[in-house]
Amino acid sequence: MHKAGFVNIVGNPNVGKSTLMNQLVGERISIATFKAQTTRHRIMGIVNTDDMQIVFSDTPGVLKPNYKLQESMLAFSESALQDADVLLYVTDVVENPEKNRDFLEKVQRMTIPVILLINKIDELASDNSRNSQSRLNSIVEKWHELLPHAEILPISAKNKFGTDMLLKRIHELLPESPAYFDKDQLTDKPARFFVSEIIREKILLYYDKEIPYAVEVRVERFKEEEKLIRINAVIYVERESQKGIIIGHQGVALKKVSTEARKALEKFFDKPIYLETFVKVDKDWRSSQKELDSFGYNPE
């Protein structure tokens, strides 16, 4: 018997959804940083075995949209409620369950199996163990009231604690079905997407405040040659002043980010990379539907 299905990962920003998907798939498919709103797209990560295919979807953290880009992000998260065979609702040990009530209410009404994952339990373990056990119990209780139909699993995505058990449980819950994708396929996104995400990850890590949120990256050239890959990427910002910050004094900041991105890209593609980065202003792109469409923010 062959099982296959869609297992969609949703939850509030920064709870560890992308870290979890990467651990489950065993590859760094989705960028993950300490900043909220790292993920902006719905990204598939596929686990294949002889008798099973799990199609995970990582999604942006749920938020109340302030501009058009965030509306698209929320639409990606909501689309993941429509086509799941199993839903993974991720929270962590510090999050207030009252956050984004509307979305939670949609999850409460779902009839498919929902697994509530309480992530980052490693953060509890720094307390003495009895105290941390009782804190975990009270978190579980609170969530049990909110999502009475959900199975609850405490995990640590970072430490891979509980993730094998989770995979086993998903296997049990998956329907009998042929595979949806080729068995050697790992994701639904093309190489260029991962290039722009890896550059964006370095920008999230390197720049403060609003800068990373005003950035989008477009890969204008991706040319795989025998010995190396040549990449040209444009970093778009919303305003002239942000361009100066990205480039930095005498270009030092951009050079540093580009070097970090190149190293990460070499790891990802397992090949030497020649990376050129350019910075351009695309005024208020986050609020322009036309620009968002051209950057691929169009949930079906």
Ligand X SMILES: Nc1nc2c(ncn2[C@@H]2O[C@H](COP(=O)(O)OP(=O)(O)OP(=O)(O)O)[C@@H](O)[C@H]2O)c(=O)[nH]1
Residues in contact with ligand X by CB under 6 A are: 13-19, 32-34, 36-39, 60-61, 119-120, 122-123, 156-158
**Torsion sign (Cα): 236, 242, 245, 249:** positive
* Closest listed residue to residue 192, CA positions, set 268, 95, 284, 292: 268
Comparing CB distances to Mg ion, the nearer of 199 and 247 is: 199
Please identify, using beta-carbon distances, which residue of 17 and 42 lies nearer to Mg ion. Answer: 17
Among the residue ranges 14-22, 44-52, 146-154, 159-167, the one whose residues contact Mg ion (CB under 5 A): 14-22
Q: Of 9-17, 43-51, 143-151, 154-162, which segment contacts Mg ion by CB under 5 A? A: 9-17
Report if residue 119 touches Mg ion, rule: CB under 5 A.
Answer: no
Query: ∠ at Cα 272 (267, 276), nearest 5°?
Result: 100
Residue 12 interacting with Mg ion (CB under 5 A): no
18 binds Mg ion (CB under 5 A): yes
Q: What is the closest distance, in whole angstroms, from the C-beta atom of residue 138 to ligand X in the complex? A: 19
Q: How far is the CB of 227 from ligand X (least distance, A)?
A: 33
Does residue number 33 form part of the binding site for Mg ion (CB under 5 A)?
no
Contact flag: residue 77 with Mg ion (CB under 5 A): no
Residue number closest to ligand X, CB atom: 61
Binding part of the chain for Mg ion, among 33-41, 105-113, 136-144, 263-271 by CB under 5 A, reads 33-41
* Least Å from the CB of residue 29 to ligand X: 11
Within 35-54, the residues that bind Mg ion by CB under 5 A are 38-39
Dihedral Cα 292, 295, 22, 61, nearest 10 deg: -10
Residues found near Mg ion in the complex (CB under 5 A): 17-18, 38-39
